[in-house]
Homo-oligomer: A and B are copies of this chain.
Amino acid sequence: MPARRTFLDAGGRSPVTPRTAQALAAGLVDGWADPARLTTESRQARTILDSARGAIAEVLAVPQDNVYFAHSVPMACERIVRGMYAARRGRDRMVMSAIEREALTDVAEFIAPGAVDRIDVDGSGHLDVAAFAHALSDPRVAIAAVQHANREIGTIQRLDRIYDVANAAGVPLIVDATASIGHVDAPEHWDALIADPSDWGAPAGLAIVAVRPQTRWLEAWPAGDDPWAPGGVSVPVALAAAVALQERVENMERESQRQFDLVTRLRAGFAQLEGVHVVGDEVERLPHLLTAAFLYLDGEPLVTRLDREGFAVGSGSACGKAQFQPSQVLAAMGALTHGNLRIGLHPGITDGEIERFLATMPRVIEVVRQSMTS
């Protein structure tokens, strides 16, 4: 591995800061016991877990009691979709944007095969709100889901209008905020929300679900256990998640502007490359994400070659499970693409690294192009 690595694949997973690593270690010292028992050690673990929950709830601007831990993002998606869908008995369809993450749409299709309607987005990735409203006029619709921002292209949805539509139709709205929390202000317009601590620099192994007090859901687990995270979650990981979020929020204003500018610089640099175009809204977007579509190049050799040069980037659908499948997001946006390259910045990234990356790209593209034609 080259002496100096530049990690540009920080969407969904980010390097862990020393302060967060310290929180994990401290959480293990004081929070190893089972928070469900009644001894001093257990009470201590429970206190840590509750304060972690409280700190995260504060950032989401909801009461602590409305925040739950889950074991992972797919589990959070499954728990919330199953619970809310079951609570709307008599209604059997779901409506989701065409660019929701697969973790969400896959479990929705699994829970209710053939019952999920997808709503188009425009060329910048914005939901067609009129089509969404039309879909929700069907009285069979039980729940709807629209992401806060897309984890590949970064486009931020206009949730205020979308929520008004859902609310007017009496359909509860699930908002996937797994790409946005810790990067921009938490969304306000939702009935249930999903967040991903490992996206904001926490160790993996945890997800967050927030549910408004008036949102109805049915427990889909035997009584007595935690229906969101059966068997409980790791207390040290929960503490680390809260500390990592706090760190992000403290620096958010400055850091978001800095990363937004770096991505603007990257977008400009990519625009000058032949056969490459950058996807998503230029302005209404997350500060740290960029996806570029390559007309004539595959994603895999690009990622591999860049990795050898010391740059970690992503490709494919950003979900990890089908690395080099064509991106459903790009397909839904009508982006003509052969391969794509996904960049996610984290607070440790410097201007110099971005310049070095941009300077490397033309040569890497040339090498990959030659290897593909030879």
The answer on a CB contact under 8 Å between B106 and A224 is: yes
Contacts of A215 in B (CB 8 A): none
Q: Does residue A7 face the partner (Cβ distance < 8 Å to B)?
A: yes
The answer on a CB contact under 8 Å between A225 and B74 is: yes
Contacts of A313 in B (CB 8 A): 39
Contacts of A39 in B (CB 8 A): 7, 9, 303, 307, 312-314
Query: Which residue from B33, B224, B233 sits with its C-beta under 8 Å from A205?
Result: B233
A291 nearest CB across to chain B (Å): 15
* Contact indicator per residue, chain A 308-342, by CB within 8 Å of chain B (1) or not (0): 00001110000011110000000000000000000
Contacts of A5 in B (CB 8 A): 40-41
A29 to B110, alpha carbons, bound, how many Å?
36
The answer on a CB contact under 8 Å between B1 and A40 is: yes
The answer on a CB contact under 8 Å between A32 and B16 is: yes
Which residues 272-327 of A sit at the B interface, judged by CB distance below 8 A?
300, 303-304, 307, 312-314, 320-323
Q: Does residue A34 face the partner (Cβ distance < 8 Å to B)?
A: yes
A364 nearest CB across to chain B (Å): 14
Q: Does residue A191 face the partner (Cβ distance < 8 Å to B)?
A: no
Which residues 24-59 of A sit at the B interface, judged by CB distance below 8 A?
24-25, 28-29, 32-34, 36-42
A360 to B231, alpha carbons, bound, how many Å?
33
Contacts of A73 in B (CB 8 A): 231
Q: Given A28-B21, A36-B320, is A110 in contact with B15 using a C-beta cutoff of 8 Å?
A: no
Contacts of A230 in B (CB 8 A): 71-72, 74-75, 78
Contacts of A236 in B (CB 8 A): 24, 203
Query: Which residue from B33, B41, B204 sits with its C-beta under 8 Å from A34?
Result: B204
Q: Given A12-B34, A28-B16, A204-B232, is A312 in contact with B40 using a C-beta cutoff of 8 Å?
A: yes
The answer on a CB contact under 8 Å between A321 and B225 is: yes
Q: Does residue A13 face the partner (Cβ distance < 8 Å to B)?
A: yes
A38 to B312, alpha carbons, bound, how many Å?
9
The answer on a CB contact under 8 Å between B231 and A234 is: no
Contacts of A222 in B (CB 8 A): 106-107, 109-110
A205 to B235, alpha carbons, bound, how many Å?
8
A28 to B22, alpha carbons, bound, how many Å?
11
Top-9 shortest CB links A-B: A72-B231, A205-B234, A36-B320, A39-B312, A71-B71, A106-B222, A74-B230, A74-B231, A13-B34
26 A-B residue contacts at CB 8 Å?
A1-B40, A5-B40, A7-B41, A9-B37, A9-B41, A14-B32, A24-B24, A24-B236, A25-B25, A32-B203, A36-B321, A38-B323, A40-B307, A40-B312, A71-B75, A71-B229, A71-B230, A72-B231, A78-B230, A102-B224, A106-B224, A106-B225, A110-B222, A205-B205, A205-B237, A237-B237
A: residues with CB less than 8 A from B are 1, 5, 7, 9, 12-16, 21, 24-25, 28-29, 32-34, 36-42, 71-75, 78, 102-103, 106-107, 109-110, 203-205, 207, 221-222, 224-225, 229-237, 300, 303-304, 307, 312-314, 320-323
> What 13 new A-B contacts, CB under 8 Å, besides A1-B40, A9-B41, A102-B224?
A7-B39, A9-B37, A14-B32, A21-B25, A24-B24, A39-B303, A39-B312, A39-B313, A40-B307, A71-B230, A72-B230, A73-B231, A103-B231
